[in-house]
Structure formats: structure tokens, C-alpha cells
Amino acid sequence: MTEPSPARVVADADVLAADLLVGGDAREALDAVRSHSWMALVASDPLLADAEAVVADLADPDLAADWRERVEGLREPVEHPAGDHPALASALHGGAMHVLSFDGDLQSAAAGAAIRGRVEASVRSPRAFAAVFDPESLYEAVEGGDYPGPDRDPRA
């Protein structure tokens, strides 16, 4: 397991699919992560498989396969036991302190208490994450020094 860090983020399958197919809050939140080389998008193979299946079902299998190939190079891979919730297990084993999800059950107070007992992560909607994301103070806390600004094209 990797040490928890606020610069490590997991996006649940619904957020990954929405980023590709819809844009909006999901894209804004993930662009914030992709724009900074010192941040990591953590995802297990089962998590990517779930997102790929959603994209194939809602759009097109070829688009889903192309997306999967592209995201393989953008994510930091992590392994976890079979049967675990892919996003939560990715956070636990990948040291991510943020889980982005549209799942209201995962965002509930009861789920938060249960999750905090095992994982040092909070589950938020992409909109909530984007609203509180402050790259300058996060950079200072994680990397130290003056924030240099975004250093990557989030769509490259």
C-alpha cells in the first residue's frame, strides 16, 4: 500500500465515463488533476474495466477501447483483492485521499464514517471536489515551495 496523499485521486467508473461522454463537473475535476504532474490519478484494472463497460454500453465499444488505451497511460495502476469496490480499494491500496463519485450512497455520512475506518479518503462529487480544490495550497503542503501553476495539458 502507498502512503496516503492529498495529491492522489481516484475517480469512480461513473466519473471516468462522464468525463469522456458528458464533460461538465467530471471533466472539470479531472482536468484539475491531469493539469498537474505532481498529482496522480489512481485506478485499478477492475475500476478501468467498469468504466470501459459503461462507455461501451452508453456509447460505442470502439470508443471504450480507445479510451481504455489512452487512460492506461494517464493513470497510476494499483492492485487490490478481487471483489473489493474498485474505487474504494484503489484509494486504499493507492494512497488516494480523494474519491470522486456520483454515487450518493458513497457520499452519505454513514458511508463516510465506515470508509474513514479503513481508508484515509473522502468521497465527493466531482462538483464538490472542484469547488474545494486549491492547487496552490495543496502544492505547498505536498511539494513545498511556490506553486508553479499547471504544468500539463489536461487533454494531451
The per-residue pLDDT for range 78-93, each reduced to its tens digit, is 999 899 999 999 999 9
Distance CA 9, CA 26 (A): 13
pLDDT at position 70: 94
**Residue 67 domain boundaries:** 21-142
Percent of the chain scoring above 90 in pLDDT: 83
Residue 10 falls within a domain, yes or no? Answer: no
**Cell numbers 485521486: residue:** 9
pLDDT at position 105: 81
Residue 151 falls within a domain, yes or no? Answer: no
The amino acid that residue 110 corresponds to is A
Q: How far is CA 10 from the centre of its chain?
A: 3
Average pLDDT, the chain: 92
Distance CA 86, CA 80 (A): 8
Lowest mean per-residue pLDDT among 57-66, 70-79, 105-114, 145-154:
105-114
pLDDT at residue 38 greater than cutoff 80:
yes
Which pTM value belongs to this model?
0.93
pLDDT at position 121: 84
Question: What is the number of domains present in the chain?
Answer: 1
pLDDT at position 113: 67
Mean of pLDDT values over 98-118: 79
What confidence tier does 111 reach under pLDDT thresholds 50, 70, 90?
A: confident
pLDDT at position 61: 97
Residue 7 falls within a domain, yes or no? Answer: no
Mean of pLDDT values over 10-29: 97
Residue 15 falls within a domain, yes or no? Answer: no
Mean of pLDDT values over 28-45: 97
Residue 16 falls within a domain, yes or no? Answer: no
pLDDT at residue 106 greater than cutoff 90:
no
**Total length of the chain:** 156
Residue 28 falls within a domain, yes or no? Answer: yes
Taking the CB of residue 110, how many other CB atoms lie within 10 A of it?
8
- Cβ pair 76, 40 in contact under 8 A: yes
Give me the sign of the Cα torsion angle 8, 39, 71, 14.
positive
Residue 80 falls within a domain, yes or no? Answer: yes
